[in-house]
Amino acid sequence: MQLLVLFVYLLPWIASSFANVEKTIFLAPEAIKISQHPPNLETLHLEALTPFNHTLHTQVPASFPNPDSRGTVSWFLLDKLQQEQRHEVRICWTATQPTDFTLDTFTLSEVFGTHELISSLASYSETRLNPSIRPSSKRAERSASVLFLRVVATADYYTTNKTLMHNVPLVDADIILDPFILNILPQSLLPTGLYLTIIAVIAWYLSGYIWHIFSEIASPDHDKKRR
């Protein structure tokens, strides 16, 4: 049992050792009614993640920190979450693009009630020219647990190359939404978890078997039989 607990603690390390990872863990809020008539959430043209469409390959703009900002802000929509369930959002990027990421989630009311957040979201939304306006559904409103995800990307390198010091290239990143199973284990770690559990069970029985063999060999009865 202690072995299993240890494995559960080690799982995130195993999963995160291949690239740079930053993450945030949150409980999905209660579902709310969202208007389907424009202007609505779709009008913001944010890239969206849902539990069914959980990985986004994207390019995130970054910049060096200055007295006015920590970096470049991008906004994403986390949609159709399972309300009151624990989820994790990870951003993974290659070590060849040294960047600091800060992830935060906000409810709709937090964003629309905070001047700083709404103006940041509005200016990000303006930069996203998305001419393909999806046909809106016939329903007047839908009900969903949604959150805004704010990603702040800060360039974290120094080079003598002036071009690179003035224009920070876009950072190739994967953003992954991962619901937790029973609020304990991220879903994507389930195969690794099962694998380690099977190994642990086999090791348990194998060690018992080996111990049995050794104790047989060491027992006085064994000696008698051999004589």
Ligand X SMILES: *[C@@H]1O[C@H](CO)[C@@H](O)[C@H](O)[C@H]1NC(C)=O
- Segment near ligand X (CB under 6 A), from 54-62, 76-84, 160-168, 194-202? 160-168
Amino acid, single-letter form, for residue 24: T
How many Cβ atoms are within 10 Å of 127's Cβ, its own excluded? 9
Q: How many residues bind ligand X (CB under 6 A)?
A: 3
Amino acid, single-letter form, for residue 196: L
Residue among 2, 66, 127, 161 that touches ligand X (CB under 6 A): 161
- The radius of gyration computed from the CA coordinates of the chain, to the nearest angstrom, equals 25
Q: How far is the CB of 155 from ligand X (least distance, A)?
A: 13
Whether 36 and 140 have beta carbons less than 8 Å apart is answered as: yes
The answer to whether residue 164 forms part of the interface with ligand X (CB under 6 A) is yes
Q: How far is the CB of 170 from ligand X (least distance, A)?
A: 12
The answer to whether residue 165 forms part of the interface with ligand X (CB under 6 A) is no
Structure tokens, 219: 């027992």
- Segment near ligand X (CB under 6 A), from 24-32, 34-42, 92-100, 161-169? 161-169
Structure tokens, 212: 């049995």
The answer to whether residue 96 forms part of the interface with ligand X (CB under 6 A) is no
- How many helices (H) and strands (E) would you count in the chain? 6, 10
The answer to whether residue 127 forms part of the interface with ligand X (CB under 6 A) is no
The answer to whether residue 163 forms part of the interface with ligand X (CB under 6 A) is yes
The answer to whether residue 206 forms part of the interface with ligand X (CB under 6 A) is no
SS3 category, 90: strand
Nearer to ligand X, 132 or 163 (CB): 163
Closest alpha carbon to 183 in 23, 26, 49: 26
Give the binding site for ligand X (CB under 6 A). Answer: 161, 163-164
